[in-house]
Structure 1
């Protein structure tokens, strides 16, 4: 998968600059689109941080050329509705509300919204309507925090 290849290629480059590659959205297979990179670090992200990372990974993408066709590169902070992908991401957000979408092809419900109750051995525990729901991280297509005000 293109996304996995890009994560493997770009995460070390982003980390070398002192940031975490939180998530990325790869362009579609049609040969054009947008590559969105979400970065973070303690203390938050500035426009200068985004520019620094953009410059670094642009060079890597030019050399490695993993994306066929034309695309636009965007680098930004993950925002209030930050994506959640790894056990570490979910662990940092214990007690917060998240929306989770499971990959297609699984029987039953695909969308959940609930409070993150725990994460262990690749299994996310969500508190949904007073019930605990266990979801394998490998079954999750996407997950995002729900901003609470």
Structure 2
């Protein structure tokens, strides 16, 4: 039995090259308990720095420190 899935669909972004490759893509971000904002964010990855990422949620740009991110996944395109 072999499961077939689309590579990249719901991919977890971990490495610097992943974040750079998927700039401009839709992402789902789960933040850690210490983050002052929402625990779950859906937006577009607009910037990557070694210590943080920035996502655009509606018309707002939110910068999230890397240590306050528990997971970032690509959002499947609808």
How many residue pairs are counted as aligned between the two chains? 75
Which is helix-richer, 1 or 2?
1
Question: What's the C-alpha RMSD, in Å, of the aligned pairs?
Answer: 2.1
Pairing 1:88–2:21 present: no
Q: Structure 2: which 5+ runs fail to align? A: none
- Runs in 1 of length 4+ with deviation above 4 angstroms? none
| 1:38-77 to 2 correspondences below 5 Å | none
1:76-120 deviations in Å (ceiling 9; x for gaps): x86411001122211110110000011123333211110010101
Query: Relative to structure 1, is the Cα distance of residues 108 and 127 closer, same or farther in structure 2, using a 3 angstrom cutoff?
Result: closer
SS at match of 1:138: helix
In 2, Cα distance between equivalents of 1:87 and 1:95: 15
CA contact (8 A) 2:34 2:68 kept: no
DSSP-derived class of the 1:106 partner: coil
| TM-score, normalised with respect to structure 1 | 0.45
Larger Rg: 1
Structure 1, unaligned runs of 5 or more: 1-46, 48-76
